[in-house]
């Protein structure tokens, strides 16, 4: 049994749901799994974990700055352990942009950091217009209009492929 740490950054709360599903899958494999928001990760003894996974959501084409900052602070430790990174974004709803090698946001992020995760994945997120603040709702609707996505201001659409999430969880568990 390995000890796996899953660290996440979220904008609207969907990434923790993905992390919870990952945790369930890896626990079924017999691993001990801890899931924490990135703001709490520095308080942990990261060296005590066998495997570290980082998940981060996208807003307006970018991950939150603390994701790259955390990676930079802990890159040497990350590189010594089995590790993985996944991103959650709405553009991944499109089949031609839902893989690590085709997702523009993941490609851009990996160019900005020097860490090379051993395992990568991209998950489509959730669109939840009613939860967004006025400005975000307006901007996201505009982006969706430009990319032929849903624009109904009452729409709540989960694009996440949960079978894909579970398969990634098994891959992480197998590398641990």
SS3 of residue 106 by DSSP: helix
**Cα–Cα distance list, 96 to 83, 115, 161, 174 (Å):** 25, 25, 15, 27
Same domain, 48 and 132: no
What proportions of the chain, in percent to the nearest 5, are helix, strand and coil? 50, 25, 30
Same domain, 90 and 58: yes
Strand-pairing partners, residue 158, are 126
Same domain, 46 and 78: yes
Same domain, 139 and 170: no
Number of domains in the chain: 2
Judged on CB neighbours under 10 Å (0-12, 13-18, 19+), 53 is buried
Same domain, 69 and 146: no
Percent of the chain residues topping a pLDDT of 90: 90
Same domain, 70 and 139: no
Same domain, 131 and 47: no
Residue whose C-alpha is closest to residue 81's, from 7, 23, 8: 7
Are 31 and 20 spatial neighbours (Cβ–Cβ below 8 Å)?
Answer: no
Per-residue pLDDT tens digits for 13-72: 999 999 999 999 999 999 999 999 999 999 999 999 999 999 999 988 889 999 999 999
Same domain, 75 and 110: yes
Which range of residues forms the domain containing residue 53?
3-125+160-175
Same domain, 92 and 48: yes
Strand-pairing partners, residue 9, are 56
**pLDDT for 116 beyond 80:** yes
**pLDDT for 163 beyond 80:** yes
| CATH at residue 47 | 3.40.50.360
Same domain, 92 and 74: yes
pTM, two decimals, is: 0.93
Give 145's contacts (C-beta < 8 A, 6+ positions apart): 151
Same domain, 120 and 146: no
Same domain, 54 and 132: no
């Amino acid at each position: 049994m390995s000890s796996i740490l899953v660290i996440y950054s979220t904008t609207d709360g969907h990434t923790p749901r993905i992390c919870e599903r990952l945790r369930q899958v890896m626990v079924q494999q017999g691993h001990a799994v801890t899931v924490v928001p990135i703001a709490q990760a520095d308080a942990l003894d990261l060296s005590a974990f066998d495997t570290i996974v980082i998940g981060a959501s996208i807003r307006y084409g970018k991950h939150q700055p603390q994701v790259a900052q955390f990676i930079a602070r802990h890159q040497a430790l990350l590189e010594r352990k089995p590790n993985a990174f996944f991103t959650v974004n709405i553009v991944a709803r499109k089949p031609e942009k839902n893989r690590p090698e085709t997702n523009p946001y993941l490609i851009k992020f990996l160019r900005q950091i020097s860490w090379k995760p051993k395992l990568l994945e991209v998950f489509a997120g959730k669109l939840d217009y009613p939860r967004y603040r006025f400005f975000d709702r307006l901007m996201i609707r505009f982006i969706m209009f430009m990319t032929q996505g849903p624009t109904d201001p009452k729409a709540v659409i989960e694009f996440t492929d949960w079978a894909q999430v579970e398969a990634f969880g098994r891959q992480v568990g197998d590398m641990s």
